[in-house]
Each structure stands twice: as structure tokens, then as C-alpha cells.
């Protein structure tokens, strides 16, 4: 059997208690569904960590107010997918459904997905496999095996929910010793493959707040991967549109799997806004996505292909979002 290293598991009964434990033990890590963290630990990463179970923090559940949908960080993807969503936000369930497979969705949480570690061919391997060469930057070493000579880590942000949450304008509630604050989900990502999130090790993501879109909004998510189950995104695109008087009044375009963080593409948004999504606008948006993508050779499929697909995925997602915005299911 592939064994886990020794660790203690703390089981706090409240957010305050959980934060206290995290603050007191710098090596402690939050454990949500464990479907990312425990894999990394079996691979010999974070072997000095104790775990703080978030199961008893009461962070699971979805609430709707007049203006906002609030999703607890502990909500499982399984529950998320089975919830009736307002049409314009069905894209959140669509992205959750694209994660892994049902027996992982059952335990995987929204918070764990947003906080998913970045990934790389050289990092996501067994300790034995990795021992064949010196440790890379993300594993505490002094070099990168993907971009030799570089001092940056290019591990990829491949989680499926963040692009969609950013496209839908979601805010994240973060709690630390000094209380809690709301930041745009976009602001949670640092762009450094080594430490991809802006949360400190003593902070927790508590909730996500998704604004209820106005009438005429639509969104869609497209994911490129080798197999239709289990595989992470080699590239993905989330597009959110608001349609007014037949034209596109607002667009948000976000790429996943194509950089060290989810990439917002303002040029693609500008290309769509003010148009009726005519072929020319779509071509410009696609071109902007290709230009914004930052694939390197550290995941499935070649960087050139993934880059090209960034444009294709944006076009497909934009068209589906547009159809949805028009009130027709695609």
C-alpha cells in the first residue's frame, strides 16, 4: 500500500478554533476533501505537515439572497452539481461536473478546488521518481526542469472552478486572526507556481459570494483534456456575457490550465463588448486568448496545441454563453 507519512489530525469545532490551531502550528495545513492534499503527501510532499480537518467548521451549504448566492467553502462538488442553479449560473455546476469523477466529487470541496495546488509533470510524481534528479523550485530546490536556467516556477493552475468563479464576478471571504475580509476571487491567485495563492498559511477561505446576474446574462465553460473523466484541464475557458438590446453589454473571459494562475483576458472582453458576437468579434477574442495564454511543456498536450486551443475554447464558450444569454438552452 502507498502509505501516508505520520501526521496528527486536529478536529476543530469552529472557525475560530481552526484559525487558532493554524496560527499556532506553522506546519499545519487545512484538510478539506483531501483529494489533492493527500495525493501530494503520498508523493512525499509536505511530509512535515499536521492536518486541520475543516469537516467540523460548518462551512458546507449554499444560500441565496436577493442579490447573491453564497457557497460555503466546505460544500462538496457533488452537492454543488445537484443544486438547482439560476440559469445564468448553471455554469458553476457545469465546471464542478468537469472535475475528476463522481467518487472524487463526493468528497472534493469548493474551497479545496479554489485552493488547488498548481501542477507540473515534474512535481506531481512519486518521491522515488523525483529522486532521479535534483529537487525543483516548487519542491524546495534551486532549479526548474521545465524552463532550465529560469528562477520562476511555471506549475499550472488547472482547477476548474476558479475560471468560472472569476468570470461570474465572485468574491471570496477569507478569515484570519484579525477577522475576515472579502477579496475578488481573481485576487486569490499570486501567479507564483511555488505558492500559487495569496492566502497566508494561517488563513482560511470560508465562503464564495456569487452575484446573481441580471436578466440577459449567460455563461459557459469549455475544458480540453485527454480523457473525458479524471483528467485535469490541459486548457480551459470560461466566458460570461450580458446581453442587452441584442448586443453584448459586458463580457468576462478567463483562461484556465494555461498559466500559473487563471488568466483574465481583458482584450478578449473588449473584442466582444459592444458587438453582436459576429464572426469578426469572435475571431478577435480568440486571437486575444491565444496571445494571453502562457503554456509551457509541463502537462498533457503540447504548448503549441494548447495555445491554439485557447482561442477555440473561448470561441466555443462565448457562443454557448451567448445562446444561453438569449434564453435558449444550448
Ligand X SMILES: Cc1cc2nc3c(=O)[nH]c(=O)nc-3n(C[C@H](O)[C@H](O)[C@H](O)COP(=O)(O)OP(=O)(O)OC[C@H]3O[C@@H](n4cnc5c(N)ncnc54)[C@H](O)[C@@H]3O)c2cc1C
**Which residues here bind ligand X, judged by CB under 6 A?**
29-37, 39, 54, 73, 77, 99-100, 104, 107-109, 111-113, 115-117, 159-160, 199, 204-205, 230, 232
Contact flag: residue 39 with another protein (CB under 8 A): yes
Answer with the entry of ligand SF4, another protein, ligand X, none that 144 interacts with (C-beta below 5 to 8 A by kind): ligand SF4
Tell me which of 22, 49, 77, 233 binds another protein, using CB under 8 A.
49
- The smaller minimum CB distance to ligand SF4, of residues 197 and 316, is found at 197
Half-sphere CA count of 302, side-chain side, radius 13 A: 3
Q: How far is the CB of 147 from ligand SF4 (least distance, A)?
A: 7
Task: Specify whether the CB–CB gap between 222 and 236 falls below 8 A.
Answer: yes
Q: What is the DSSP letter of 84?
A: P
Contact flag: residue 2 with another protein (CB under 8 A): yes
- The smaller minimum CB distance to ligand X, of residues 269 and 300, is found at 300
Answer with the entry of another protein, ligand X, ligand SF4, none that 113 interacts with (C-beta below 5 to 8 A by kind): ligand X
Beta-carbon contacts of 43 under 8 Å, excluding residues fewer than 6 positions away, are 124, 125, 126, 127, 130
- The smaller minimum CB distance to ligand SF4, of residues 20 and 125, is found at 125
Whole-angstrom distance, CA of residue 283 vs CA of residue 278? 9
**Other CB atoms within 10 Å distance of the CB of residue 161:** 29
Residue closest to ligand X when measured from CB atoms: 112
Contact flag: residue 120 with ligand SF4 (CB under 6 A): yes
Contact flag: residue 9 with another protein (CB under 8 A): yes
Enter the C-alpha cell of residue 311: 482561442
- The smaller minimum CB distance to another protein, of residues 47 and 275, is found at 47
249: exposed, middle or buried (C-beta count within 10 Å: 0-12, 13-18, 19+)? middle
Element (H, E) at 325: helix 303-325
Contact flag: residue 29 with another protein (CB under 8 A): no
Whole-angstrom distance, CA of residue 54 vs CA of residue 73? 9
- Which one, of 100, 106, 31, lies nearest residue 75 by Cα? 106
Contact flag: residue 55 with another protein (CB under 8 A): yes
The strand pair at 235-244 and 179-184 is best described as unpaired
Whole-angstrom distance, CA of residue 194 vs CA of residue 118? 8
- The smaller minimum CB distance to another protein, of residues 109 and 260, is found at 109
- The smaller minimum CB distance to ligand SF4, of residues 25 and 135, is found at 135
| # residues contacting another protein (CB under 8 A) | 35
- The smaller minimum CB distance to another protein, of residues 57 and 144, is found at 57
The DSSP string of 86-128 is: PGGGHHHHHHHHTSS-HHHHTT-BHHHHHTPPPB-TTTSS-HH
Whole-angstrom distance, CA of residue 242 vs CA of residue 196? 30
Answer with the entry of ligand SF4, ligand X, another protein, none that 42 interacts with (C-beta below 5 to 8 A by kind): another protein
Contact flag: residue 24 with another protein (CB under 8 A): no
Which residues are at the interface with another protein (CB under 8 A)?
1-9, 11, 27, 31, 34-35, 38-39, 42-43, 48-51, 53, 55, 78, 100-104, 106-107, 228-230
Which residues are at the interface with ligand SF4 (CB under 6 A)?
120, 122-123, 136-138, 144-146, 153-155, 193, 298
Amino acid at each position: 500500500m502507498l502509505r501516508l507519512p505520520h501526521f496528527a489530525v486536529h478536529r476543530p469545532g469552529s472557525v475560530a478554533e481552526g484559525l487558532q490551531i493554524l496560527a499556532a502550528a506553522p506546519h499545519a495545513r487545512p484538510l478539506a476533501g483531501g483529494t489533492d492534499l493527500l495525493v501530494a503527501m503520498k508523493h512525499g510532499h509536505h511530509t512535515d505537515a499536521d492536518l486541520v480537518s475543516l469537516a467540523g467548521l460548518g462551512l458546507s451549504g449554499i444560500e441565496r439572497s436577493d442579490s447573491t448566492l453564497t457557497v460555503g467553502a466546505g460544500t462538496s462538488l457533488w452537492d454543488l452539481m445537484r443544486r438547482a442553479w439560476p440559469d445564468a449560473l448553471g455554469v458553476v455546476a457545469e465546471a464542478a461536473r468537469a472535475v475528476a469523477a463522481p467518487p472524487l466529487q463526493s468528497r472534493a470541496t469548493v474551497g479545496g478546488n479554489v485552493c488547488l495546488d498548481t501542477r507540473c509533470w515534474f512535481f506531481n510524481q512519486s518521491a522515488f521518481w523525483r529522486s532521479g534528479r535534483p529537487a525543483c523550485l516548487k519542491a524546495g530546490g534551486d532549479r526548474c526542469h521545465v524552463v532550465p536556467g529560469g528562477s520562476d516556477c511555471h506549475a499550472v493552475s488547472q482547477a476548474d472552478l476558479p475560471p468560472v468563479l472569476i468570470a461570474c464576478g465572485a468574491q471570496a471571504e477569507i478569515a484570519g486572526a484579525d477577522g475576515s475580509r472579502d477579496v475578488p476571487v481573481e485576487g486569490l491567485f499570486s501567479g507564483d507556481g511555488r505558492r500559487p495563492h495569496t492566502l497566508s498559511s494561517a488563513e482560511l477561505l470560508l465562503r464564495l459570494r456569487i452575484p446573481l446576474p441580471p436578466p440577459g446574462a449567460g455563461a459557459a465553460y469549455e475544458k480540453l483534456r485527454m480523457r473525458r473523466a479524471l483528467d485535469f484541464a490541459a486548457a480551459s475557458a470560461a466566458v460570461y456575457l450580458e446581453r442587452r438590446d441584442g448586443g453584448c453589454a459586458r463580457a468576462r473571459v478567463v483562461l484556465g490550465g494555461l498559466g500559473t494562475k487563471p488568466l483574465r483576458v481583458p482584450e478578449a472582453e473588449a473584442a466582444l463588448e459592444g458587438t453582436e458576437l459576429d464572426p469578426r468579434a469572435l475571431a478577435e477574442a480568440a486571437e486575444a486568448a491565444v496571445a494571453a495564454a502562457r503554456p509551457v511543456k509541463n502537462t498533457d498536450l503540447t504548448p503549441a496545441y494548447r495555445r491554439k486551443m485557447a482561442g477555440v475554447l473561448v470561441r466555443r464558450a462565448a457562443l454557448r454563453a451567448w445562446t444561453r444569454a438569449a434564453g435558449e438552452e444550448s
